[in-house]
Chain A
Amino acid sequence: PPSSLLRSLLARSQVGGALLARPAAATTGRTFATKASKAGDDDTPFEVDVAPFQVHKLESFPEPKVETTKKEVLAFFRDLFRMRRMEIAADVLYKGKFIRGFCHLYDGQEAVCVGMEASINYEDAIITSYRDHCTYLGRGGNMYEVVAELLGRKDGCSRGIGGSMHMYLRENNFYGGNGIVGAQVPLGVGIAFQQKYNKKRNCTFTMYGDGAANQGQGFEALNIAALWDLPVVYVCENNHFGMGTAEGRASKSPEFYKRGDYVPGIKVDGMDVFAVKKAVAFAKEFVVENGPLVMEMDTYRYHGHSMSDPGSTYRTRDEVSGIRRERDPIERVRKLIVEMELATTAEIKAIEKECRKEVDDAIEKAKACPEPPVDWLTKNIYSSKPNSFEFVRGTERGIQHEAY
């Protein structure tokens, strides 16, 4: 019903964030941050070098140079930083037992979703695993909804019912948020089928990790996608550890971009937001014409697999701090800003301060939000159309709940 849509739109616009306006899905190459720096918009393009792309069965592939603008770089910085702050805040909230259940943090990997969004629009679809907080933000969600969902409150993006692992955003074609490892991969192919069927010039990014790369269903669906030339990009976010198992001990071939065999592949430095942007732009053009592509994002997560995993029993602290020092996505962008004098230190600090405030405000508001009402326990089990279940049995005889 239209009124609930309006209400949700209204709710979404109430808390700040870099994404206040919801532009209608249109052009490629749009950035999703609209705040300009104090010095005024600067759209003069310049080029940034990135590491060369490694490819598998691709005759033409992008050059390692990426065009960007000052506005875009600052927007990247803001989005990377706010995602990082949000994940760190989620860590603290989990330890304070505000977030219960399982919480899988994305810090270190932010460049993947920020870079992706720079090259696609909301008519393209994304489906990912349970490590989805930042992907949700990238798709245009606001931080209040994420935090409320983590806390299990009714203003959360899934109404507090899904929790950390199940965040969805239908208006912007974000299909979650999936708890079972690898189960989302075939779903992405199905979404791509719809795009081709409706003759849209859009594609689907079906995302999974190095652990999930060994799930049979992924290969089954890839064969289907290749057979029917579906516009799907298989994005393997390779953070090198499937929970506690290093990639070499789980996969005979840890070169995930080659795993498609007859499907072409490309490997990208997933901690360089510009490389991701370029590769994803290429990928979208490619799959809309040619069928599936496997894209491996070489990335890293600083936290353990989830909040129950310290992340230090299977890798050394030196390794983690080494990556932080050398490859951190935020620091690279900051370095670029400083080198090219795109903003002063004070301006950078101002952006950081705004991001921190955004996170704090979201947390405060989420803590005040009530939990979903108990009668929602039986909501949305079945369709509410006629001839579906009307009542659902409760825990003992005589108890029935209306299903709606």
Chain B
Amino acid sequence: MLVRSGVNALGKVAEGRLGLAVLASSAAAATAARNGLVPESEEAASLHTAAGLVGGPTTTEGGARRSGQAASGAAEQSQWRKAYSSSVVGEQQATRRINLFTAINDALNIALEEDPKTLIFGEDVSFGGVFRCTSGLLEKHGRERVFNTPLCEQGIVGFAVGAAAVGHKPIVEIQFADYIFPAFDQIVNEAAKYRYRSGGMYSCGGLTIRTPCGAVGHGGHYHSQSPEAFFMHSPGLKVVMPSGPREAKGLLLSSIRDDNPVIFFEPKIMYRTAVDEVPMGDFTLPLGEAAVVREGTDITLVGWGTQVGVLKQAAEEVAENDGISCEVIDLQTILPWDVDTIANSVSKTGRLLVSHEAPMTGGVGAEIVSTISKECFLNLESPPTRVCGADTPFPLVWEPFYLPRQYRIVQEIKEQMNF
């Protein structure tokens, strides 16, 4: 069946996309640097060690670690990124090969350990959760900090907003993103506006909402949605979606530590199928920064979550068959989104394609295309396009036709190249 083979292929892609261990050649080192595991040179390595675990102001941090653009002389950017970077990759931080739910479990455990005011609650989290993201946490940290709630999303999130307002760091789980809508009022009207409406007196910055999202092959209307666009539209929130286990751990820890309410979407299809080398111990990735996961010169492909894997597959296909060189960007943070990385990339390539599972109309892709059209108008070789879910409710039997799959992206890339 088409859907199942897609899932398997996706799993394989997720597995193949690994950071690598220490490498000798400079090219390989640059790749490794991009994956954030190994600094580009020995000199930088000693600088990193000197800076300790916290990302310090060295010349090779930031830009070098996260995108391959350090090589292309993005000195101004790394200056700019210094202000934001909180990557804590030290000298060759040990990694282990784990899947998405284990990476999330790891991040949650670190969060609970470091701050006694951290709480984890939601439906069924105490036995480990339906996706096992919270396994073992009750046993380690006690039932006052890891507990179940009744089945009432609005009540759960409202309760969390209140707890955050008095200094706790609640990490709320909404069991499926499809069920987040009863809590929509609490998120958009309470959590997002708390700081603003009280003139800075109160806030619920400690709030993090984690929720599984995205297509899973057979989820149907209510187990497959990607509602990130609804929340991108709400100033005061941050919206994050990782594309793999490594990004998940780094971004989740950043989200928990960020002093703003964050909604953290986890692509549920990857919980078990996506495996990556994830740094052990403390590890964060900065919010608000996109990652260039594949360098290219002809067209920029932007996606997040599961779709990054699909874009990479499409990029490989057109590289092999048509010699088209695609630059693939993992947006990582949807709000605030990294305009500069994408604008720089599109200025280089001249073409933009954004892809997401959520329906096309009013999706996050619309915002990205609109902004980049303005920023990069004179650099564009073809109109920027979006390859997204169809404008229908998420169907059950027609999921393969609804989703923006690899072949549609390839087709669209070719159309842009031939414009």
A and B from one assembly? Answer: yes
Residues of A within 8 A of B (CB): 100-102, 152, 160-163, 165-166, 179-182, 211-212, 214-217, 242-245, 249-251, 313-314, 371-372, 374, 376-378, 381, 392-397, 399, 401
Docked-complex contact A101 and B390, CB < 8 angstroms: no
Within 8 A of A (CB), among B370-419: 385-393, 395-398, 401-404, 408, 411-412
**Cβ contact within 8 Å between B395 and A250:** no
Cβ–Cβ < 8 Å partners of B79 in chain A = none
Contacts of B389 in A (CB 8 A): 395
B392 touches which one: A160, A245, A381 (CB < 8 A)?
Answer: A381
**Are B385 and A396 in contact, with the CB atoms below 8 A?**
yes
Top 5 closest pairs, chain A to chain B, by CB: A214-B150, A179-B222, A100-B218, A152-B397, A250-B150
* Cβ contact within 8 Å between B386 and A397: yes
The docked-state distance in angstroms from the alpha carbon of A165 to that of B393 is 15
Residues of B near A162 (CB, < 8 A) are 396
Instruction: Say yes or no: A181 contacts B151, CB within 8 Å.
Output: yes
Q: How far is the CA of A313 from the CA of B412 in the complex (A)?
A: 48
B218 touches A180 (CB 8 A): no
Are A165 and B392 closer than 8 Å at their CB atoms?
no
**Residue contact A180 to B179, C-beta cutoff 8 Å:** yes
Q: Tell yes or no: B155 within 8 A of A by CB.
A: yes
Bound together, the chains give a CA A289 to CA B385 distance in angstroms of 60
User: Given A396-B385, A396-B408, A181–B179 Cβ distance below 8 Å?
Assistant: yes
**A102 with B223: in contact, given A161-B397, A163-B396 (CB under 8 Å)?**
yes
The 8 A CB mask of B217-237 against A (1 = contact, 0 = none) is 111111100000000000000
- CB pair B182–A217 under 8 Å, yes or no, is yes
> Can you report 23 residue pairs joining A to B where beta carbons are below 8 Å apart?
A100-B217, A101-B220, A160-B397, A161-B397, A165-B220, A166-B221, A180-B222, A181-B179, A214-B152, A216-B155, A245-B123, A250-B148, A313-B127, A372-B397, A374-B401, A381-B392, A392-B392, A395-B388, A395-B389, A395-B404, A396-B385, A396-B386, A397-B412
Extra 4 A-B pairs, beta carbons < 8 Å, given A376-B398, A395-B403: A101-B220, A180-B179, A245-B123, A377-B392
**A378 and B396 in contact, given A313-B127, A395-B360 (Cβ under 8 angstroms):** no
How many angstroms between the C-alpha atoms of A163 and B182 in the bound complex? 23
Q: Does B8 reach chain A (CB closer than 8 Å)?
A: no
Other-chain residue from A165, A212, A378 in contact with B390 (beta carbon distance below 8 A): A378
Report how far A163 CA is from B151 CA in the complex, Å. 23
Q: Does B338 contact A (CB under 8 A)?
A: no
A35 to B225, alpha carbons, bound, how many Å? 45
Separation in Å of the A187 CB from the closest CB of chain B?
14
Q: Which residue of B lies closest to A182 (CB)?
A: B151
**Per-position contact with A for B353-376: 1 when CB-CB < 8 Å, else 0?**
000000011000000000000000
Give bound CA distance, A401 to B401, whole Å. Answer: 12
CA distance A236 to B397 in the complex (A): 31
Known contacts being A216-B155, A243-B124, is A161 close to B396, with CB within 8 Å? yes
Q: Would you give the shortest CB distance from B167 to chain A, in whole angstroms? A: 26
Q: How far is the CA of A376 from the CA of B390 in the complex (A)?
A: 13
A244 near B390: Cβ-Cβ < 8 Å: no
Q: Which residues of A contact B361 (CB under 8 A)?
A: 393
Residue B178 CB within 8 A of the other chain: yes
Q: Which of B221, B385, B412: most chain A CB closer than 10 A?
A: B221
Instruction: Determine whether the beta carbon of B150 is less than 8 Å from that of A161.
Output: no
Q: Are B151 and A244 in contact (CB under 8 A)?
A: no
Considering the complex, which residues of chain B in the window 136-194 have a beta carbon less than 8 Å from any beta carbon of chain A?
148, 150-152, 154-155, 178-179, 181-182
Looking at the assembled complex, report how far the CB atom of B419 sits from the nearest CB atom of chain A, in whole angstroms.
11
Residues of chain B lying within 8 A (CB to CB) of residue A378: 390, 392
Q: Closest CB-CB distance, A212 to chain B, in whole Å?
A: 6
Compute how far the CA of A162 lies from the CA of B393 in the bound complex, rounded to whole angstroms: 11
Q: Which residue of B lies closest to A158 (CB)?
A: B396
Quote the shortest CB–CB distance from A120 to chain B (angstroms): 28
**Considering only CB atoms, which chain A residue lies closest to B178 in the complex?**
A180
B120 to chain A minimum Cβ distance, whole angstroms, is 16
Which single residue of chain B is at the shortest CB-CB distance from A215? B152
* Shortest CB distance A108–B (Å): 20
Looking at the assembled complex, report how far the CB atom of B240 sits from the nearest CB atom of chain A, in whole angstroms: 25
A212 to B179, CA, bound (A): 13
How far does the Cβ of A369 sit from chain B's closest Cβ, in whole Å?
Answer: 12
- Establish whether residues A396 and B392, one from each chain, have CB atoms under 8 Å apart when the complex forms: no
A180 contacts which chain B residues (CB < 8 A)?
Answer: 178-179, 181, 222
Contacts of B217 in A (CB 8 A): 100
Is A395 a contact partner of B220 (Cβ separation < 8 A)? no
In the complex, what distance in Å separates the CA atom of A167 from the CA atom of B217? 21
Bound complex: CA A179 to CA B176 (Å): 12
Given contacts A181-B179, A244-B127, A396-B412, contact A211 B151 (CB under 8 A): yes
Name which residue of chain A comes closest to B158, CB basis.
A216
Beta-carbon nearest neighbor of B181 in chain A: A180
Contact indicator A394/B390 (Cβ below 8 Å): yes
With A and B bound together, what is the CA distance between A86 and B112 in angstroms? 47
* Cα–Cα distance between A249 and B124 once the two chains are bound (Å): 11
Q: How far is the CB of A282 from chain B (nearest CB, A)?
A: 29
* B150 cross-chain contacts in A, Cβ below 8 A: 211, 214, 242, 245, 250-251
- Give the residues in chain A near B388, CB-CB below 8 Å: 395-396
Distance, CA A399 to CA B221, complexed state (A): 22
Which residues on A sit within 8 Å (CB–CB) of B223? 101-102
- Kindly list chain A residues whose C-beta atoms are within 8 Å of the C-beta of B127: 244, 313-314
Decide: B221 and A395 in contact? CB cutoff 8 A.
no
Question: Knowing A101-B219, A161-B397, A214-B150 touch, does A395 contact B390 (C-beta < 8 A)?
Answer: yes
- Contact status B404-A214, CB under 8 Å: no
Tell me if A245 and B148 are in contact (CB < 8 A).
Answer: yes
Contact A101–B396 (Cβ < 8 Å): yes
Contact of B222 with A215 in the complex, beta carbons under 8 Å: no
A53 CA / B387 CA spacing, docked (Å): 59
Residue A377 contacts which of B151, B178, B402, B408 (CB distance < 8 angstroms)? B402
Q: Could you tell me the distance between the alpha carbons of A273 and B128 in the complex, rounded to whole angstroms?
A: 37
Instruction: Say yes or no: B151 contacts A392, CB within 8 Å.
Output: no
Q: How far is the CA of A251 from the CA of B148 in the complex (A)?
A: 11
Q: Whole-angstrom distance from the CB of A304 to the nearest CB of chain B?
A: 12
Closest to A377 in B: B398
Contact for A395 among B152, B396, B408, CB less than 8 A? B408
Indicate if the CB atoms of B412 and A393 lie closer than 8 Å: no
Which residue of chain A lies nearest to B175 when distances are taken between CB atoms in the complex? A243
A242 touches B385 (CB 8 A): no
Q: What residues of A have a CB within 8 angstroms of the CB of B396 in the complex?
A: 101, 152, 160-163
Query: Could you say which residues of chain A place their CB within 8 Å of the CB of B397?
Result: 152, 160-161, 163, 371-372
